[in-house]
């Protein structure tokens, strides 16, 4: 079949959930077709890598080292696809490439204009991505709201795309908002009507309307919207508010969206949401509750840790337990862990809140509270161990104190001369060798794994021996043994940390192994908190094999496939492509 393109635009206001909507549409299609998502952002940053998480939300990192918008997390979790950095367009990227093409003379001396040169460049990039990825269906999300200056070139590009590839191969979906004003108790369609008018002025006729509302749309409102948009009532879909975003594909399917898409695109679609529905029911039927603390410095915006929250949701569905998140701002002085069954210290940068994280980790270590450290959390755990177990009270990271006496965490020597912020980080998927007698090995069930990274500093190799001599297990190392990827402690219910970000690969149908290990230990901790401590048996924390086939997924990934002959080649290929 000819490649199909589904374009989703947004109206009325930002934050309506275009990323979730397009991921949910993709979920309905992914059973039958290869679906590739594309996100178009209007900002002039090349990528979100240098943006403050409080301003922009989480930076999502891909296997290929790309730093992209957090919507890609939704795409991967719903579509079970490994996205590529080229699938995220920003105006910063676009203008960079246009400028380079102009300097090379690619425009043959013409005056380079926003329209048609830049918009055609964007349109052609959509087509190229489809060809390179061999996609059956492309999902293109236009960031921002209709009427925003920042997305006008994207809108023009998708308008001309229909002419380029054939109107029958392009479907326009518009996400809008139907409010119910307080005291009026009536659904209002006027914002949606105005939004559709703005879209039409730009030459685009929406073919499906998804209206966000706190209630299912009534017949009267559907009639109004349908008449305004020249559509039938069944082409107006309610994007109802839900307590769990994973319900959205089910909500859409219950309204017949998959068959509506099939008719519009003239293709057969068989949406299979059986397993998806079972897992959601598991979460709803959970009777047991546990509290998990997330100790960080960006707690004022939960989107800063979106993937961690999602990884906990995934575990909730598999363990039939409700997981309540307790936010702990580590820049505050009072830290109370009395009501938690597990603690996560997530990634971060800078000095603010570091001492609070170290105190929390010390409490977890000494009081046998299940603990998972992620990226910066591993580094803080190493510092805490060096200070309080190895008796190096002035141990620190050179990120906080450049002249500390015991720099147990330090920047990679080869990266000290790099100026560009993004270039100084170890980004993307990196391999690790796991000790076979370790807890981490029991969780993954493999001795060679790969996780995604985003950090500048490492455990200083000069202190590896000191840490091990005092009882810290370096349970996962880089293939050459120089970089610490995983640590753990014996005689503790669950004390594990990783330099990677395993939450980025967690999915509803396949939760991240380290999170599953934490939640399993936390459940046991909550049940036995009043009993004498018993060391865990590795077999009890082993993760089900059907959720940890990381070796099989690596073989299918293009970046890993060419390096099957040896793990050393495997590592070298990644270093060359990412650094």
Average pLDDT over residues 450-457: 93
Provide the whole-model pTM.
0.86
pLDDT in tens, 529-560: 644 555 555 555 554 444 343 344 433 333 33
- Picking from 272, 307, 340, the residue at the C-terminal end of a domain is 272
Catalytic residue annotation? 375, 501, 503
Q: Are residues 294 and 267 in the same domain?
A: no
Decide which of 272, 302, 337 is a domain's last residue. Answer: 272
Tell me how far apart the alpha carbons of residues 262 and 25 are, in angstroms, rounded to a whole number: 12
Q: Are 427 and 575 in contact (CB under 8 A)?
A: no
Same domain, 51 and 193: yes
Tell me what pLDDT residue 335 has.
79
Residues 173 and 244 in one domain: yes
Does one domain contain both 214 and 304?
no
**Same domain flag for 208 and 127:** yes
**Mean pLDDT in residue range 359-380:** 96
Residues 202 and 286 in one domain: no
Cα(258)–Cα(6) distance, integer angstroms: 13
**Residues 409 and 521 occupy one common structural domain:** yes
User: Do residues 308 and 344 touch, judged by C-beta distance below 8 A?
Assistant: yes
Q: 294: which 2 tokens?
A: 């997330």
pLDDT digits (tens, 9 = 90+) for 462-517: 999 999 999 999 999 999 999 999 999 999 999 999 999 999 999 999 999 999 99
Q: What is the CATH number of the domain that holds 215?
A: 3.40.50.300
Give the Cα separation of 273 and 242 in Å (integer).
Answer: 17
Using a CB cutoff of 8 Å and minimum separation of 24, what contacts does 547-553 make? Answer: 547/318, 547/510, 547/511, 547/513, 547/516, 548/443, 548/444, 548/445, 548/446, 548/513, 550/444, 550/446, 550/449, 550/450, 551/446, 551/448, 551/449
DSSP symbol at 268? -
The three-state secondary structure class of 67 is: strand
| 306 and 451 fall within a common domain | yes
* pLDDT for res 95: 95
Same domain, 435 and 368: yes
Residues 249 and 286 in one domain: no
Residues 249 and 284 occupy one common structural domain: no
Domain count, the chain: 2
> How far is 198 from 12, CA to CA, in rounded Å?
10
Cα 174 from Cα 206, distance rounded (Å): 6
The 10s digit of each residue's pLDDT in 294-314 is: 997 655 556 678 999 999 999
Confidence bin at 329 (pLDDT 50/70/90)? confident
CATH number of the domain within which 511 lies: 3.40.50.880
pLDDT computed for residue 350 by the predictor:
63
Which range of residues forms the domain containing residue 112? 4-272
268 and 286 in one domain? no
Tell me which of 228, 250, 272 is where a domain ends: 272
């Amino acid at each position: 079949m000819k490649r199909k393109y589904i374009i989703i635009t947004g109206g009325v206001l930002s934050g309506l959930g275009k990323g979730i909507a397009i991921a949910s549409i993709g979920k309905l299609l992914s059973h039958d077709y290869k679906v590739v998502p594309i996100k178009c952002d209007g900002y002039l940053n090349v990528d979100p890598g240098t943006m403050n998480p409080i301003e922009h939300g989480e930076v999502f990192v891909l296997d290929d080292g790309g730093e992209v918008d957090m919507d890609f997390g939704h795409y991967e979790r719903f579509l079970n696809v490994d996205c590529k950095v080229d699938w995220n367009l920003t105006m910063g990227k676009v203008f960079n490439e246009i400028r380079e093409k102009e300097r090379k003379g690619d425009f043959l001396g013409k005056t380079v204009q926003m329209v048609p040169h830049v918009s055609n460049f964007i349109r052609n990039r959509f087509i190229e991505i489809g060809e390179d990825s061999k996609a059956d269906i492309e999902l293109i999300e236009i960031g921002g709201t209709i009427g925003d200056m920042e997305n006008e070139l994207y809108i023009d590009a998708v308008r001309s795309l229909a002419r380029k590839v054939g109107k029958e191969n392009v479907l326009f979906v518009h996400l809008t908002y139907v409010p119910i004003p307080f005291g009026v108790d009536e659904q209002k369609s006027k914002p949606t009507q105005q939004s559709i008018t703005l879209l039409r002025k730009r030459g685009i006729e929406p073919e499906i309307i998804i209206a966000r509302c706190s209630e299912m749309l009534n017949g009267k409102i559907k009639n109004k919207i349908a008449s305004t948009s020249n559509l039938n009532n069944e082409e107006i879909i309610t994007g109802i508010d839900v307590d769990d975003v994973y319900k959205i594909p089910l909500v859409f399917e219950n309204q017949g969206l998959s068959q509506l898409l099939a008719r519009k695109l003239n293709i057969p679609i068989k949406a299979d949401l059986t397993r998806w529905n079972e897992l959601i029911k598991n979460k709803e039927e959970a009777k047991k509750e546990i509290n998990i603390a997330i100790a960080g410095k960006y707690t004022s915006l939960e989107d800063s840790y979106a993937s961690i929250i999602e990884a906990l949701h995934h575990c909730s569905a598999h363990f039939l337990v409700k997981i309540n998140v307790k936010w702990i701002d580590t820049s505050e002085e009072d830290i109370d862990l009395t009501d938690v069954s597990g603690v996560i210290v997530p990634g971060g940068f800078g000095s603010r809140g570091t001492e609070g994280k170290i105190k929390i980790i010390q409490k977890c270590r000494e009081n046998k509270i299940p603990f998972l450290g992620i990226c910066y959390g591993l580094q803080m755990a190493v510092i805490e161990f060096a200070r309080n177990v190895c008796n190096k009270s002035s141990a620190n990271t050179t990120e906080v104190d450049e002249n500390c006496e015991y720099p147990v965490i330090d920047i990679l020597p080869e990266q000290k001369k790099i100026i560009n912020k993004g270039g100084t980080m170890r980004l993307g998927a990196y391999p690790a060798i796991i000790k076979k007698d370790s807890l981490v090995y029991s969780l993954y069930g493999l001795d060679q794994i790969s996780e995604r990274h985003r950090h500048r500093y490492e455990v200083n190799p000069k202190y590896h021996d000191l840490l091990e001599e005092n009882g810290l297990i370096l349970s996962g190392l880089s293939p050459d043994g120089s970089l610490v990827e995983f640590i753990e402690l014996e005689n503790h219910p669950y004390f594990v940390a990783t330099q990677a970000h395993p939450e980025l690969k967690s999915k509803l149908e396949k939760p991240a192994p380290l999170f599953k290990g934490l939640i399993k230990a936390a459940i046991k901790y909550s049940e036995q908190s009043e009993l004498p401590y018993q060391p865990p048996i590795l077999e009890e924390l082993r993760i089900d094999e059907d959720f940890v086939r990381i070796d099989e997924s690596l073989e299918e990934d293009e970046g890993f496939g060419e390096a099957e002959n040896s793990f050393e080649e495997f590592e070298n290929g990644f270093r060359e492509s990412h650094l």
